[in-house]
Chain A
């Protein structure tokens, strides 16, 4: 579904150049859920934004569904690829009702039968019809993230990019959203590319994952490898042990970060 070859993203002018992504190649299969994990500055979100077309100065090649994509994306591209952002407080227009938020993509893409599609999308994210004419400030964080997911689903995309979709939520709400995302993938067969700093979330959601560090891809592992603790690279091991909680011996074993 996604083929990334030698992707590089550089920010800043000469002299203050920051190589945010440094020659990364990876493939995501159709229907797969693939995770990008790493600490801040690892380049994981930058890869996602390059795939989404939110950054226009990347180098290398990106192919989606077999077709190379350019700097500027067509309207058709966004029928295929949609995104859910981290902060459900910032990603929904505060003065638009849920109905308008969900209808807008339909209008842009000239789709009819908005009524039925909006209802179906709300149903898909398990929000009742009573939510349709509410404003974002009348919703909890978890409900807002459901609306953001419904907005991504309403164009029936085949690839959904998830940027830390639950990191702003309490852990009990996170569980509900992760279960919902899992159901959606199983029902619709969509592909996920998920970015998270939380190895627990990635372990739960993804078939495979790539560990990133300072713009480079450290290793690709399967969910089984991660669960069994069978990561090859010392940095991935360190990240995994650190994610399991506080352990003085583990802290002492850290190499410089």
Chain B
């Protein structure tokens, strides 16, 4: 039934708590959303819970997860055992992190890392050719050179493309990208985004794009969840983001300097503690009003 509605990920009332010496820290509070094969952004500032939400989907958070529902297609991700996770992680859901310098293994060639990523899901004879094919898919001009290269021989943009190629080896249905382009120069950033954009379209993949950059997600993604203090305060179609109604979203939009609209003073954000406490403004995370 879920398959028919096209929902690939269903998150309902996700909570993540950390035990700290100072007591419990409630990092993610009652986050709910459903996604189809689309580009879904999770935006927020540091401490908003956006990264923890992304990690929870892959069971990679250190915190305690509880949820009414956390399901990938018909598989509940709650209480999945190690064998269950092996079927999902890297195969059906993959993750790209922020900085290729730290997420690539420095003592393995790019090619070996790609092969490792594809080994479990591909026939042995086809892994190498698929690795080269994926390097080509992320617009690397000389795939063989990069295949044989060590991570330190690649630039930041090239390293991030190699990371994306690696995550695509197993043709995941959902890619979670946590600030995948924040460490990159602006022109390289857009080139990497164009690659992700093509992959979502041609491979029918879902993308969760975690970012602090409202302007970027407004122009790149289909739908945006705005998080503050662990809560989703607003959900919007990206193209309507400027019509946001939550004061936090409005405040974030107003305080970013824009090239073509110079102002003497930037608006500053007047934070309201209620944003992190009140129930999310819209039960707008329900799929009815968020379909594209």
A interface, CB within 8 angstroms of B: 39-40, 170-172, 174-176, 178-179, 182, 197-201, 203-205, 223, 226-229, 238-240, 242-248, 250-252, 254, 257
Contacts and interface: CB of A to CB of B under 8 A. Distances in A.
Interface stretch (B51-59, B106-114, B161-169, B185-193): B185-193
B277 interface: no
A182 B280 CA distance: 36
B197 interface: yes
Contacts of A204: 257, 262-263, 266
A176 B268 contact: yes
Nearest to A178: B266
Interface string B210-225: 0010111011100000
Given A178-B266, A245-B220, 13 more contacts: A172-B252, A172-B268, A175-B256, A175-B268, A178-B257, A182-B264, A198-B257, A203-B258, A203-B262, A245-B216, A245-B219, A257-B188, A257-B191
A67 to B, nearest CB: 33
B190 A179 contact: no
A240 B260 CA distance: 10
Q: Is chain A's interface secondary structure helix, strand, loop, or mixed overall?
A: helix
Considering the complex of A and B, which 10 residue pairs feature the smallest CB-CB distances, nearest first? A245-B219, A204-B257, A175-B255, A39-B185, A246-B220, A175-B266, A170-B45, A172-B269, A246-B219, A200-B257
Contact of B255 (A40, A172, A223, A227): A172
A247 B219 contact: yes
A200 B265 contact: no
A246 B216 contact: yes
A227 to B, nearest CB: 5
Contact of A242 (B187, B220, B256, B263): B187
A175 B251 CA distance: 11
B144 interface: no
Contacts of B258: 200, 203
A226 B257 CA distance: 13
Contact of A197 (B185, B214, B265, B268): B185
B75 interface: no
A251 B194 contact: yes
A185 to B, nearest CB: 12
A238 B259 contact: no
Contact of A257 (B45, B187, B197): B187
Given A175-B266, A182-B265, A245-B218, A251 B191 contact: yes
Contacts of B194: 246, 248, 251-252
Given A171-B252, A242-B190, A245-B218, A223 B260 contact: no
Given A171-B212, A171-B252, A254-B191, A243 B259 contact: yes
5 contacts: A39-B187, A200-B259, A243-B186, A245-B215, A257-B185
Nearest to B46: A170
Interface in B196-245: 197, 212, 214-216, 218-220
A9 to B, nearest CB: 20
> Which of B197, B256, B259 has the largest count of A CB atoms less than 10 A from its CB?
B259
B267 interface: yes
A254 B261 CA distance: 24
A170 B257 contact: no
> Which of A182, A197, A243, A245 has the largest count of B CB atoms less than 10 A from its CB?
A245
A244 B259 contact: yes
A205 B264 CA distance: 9
B218 A227 contact: no
Contacts of B215: 244-245
Interface in B251-292: 251-252, 255-269
A226 B259 contact: yes
Contacts of B263: 204
B266 A199 contact: no
> Which of A172, A201, A240 has the largest count of B CB atoms less than 10 A from its CB?
A172
A57 to B, nearest CB: 26
B250 to A, nearest CB: 12
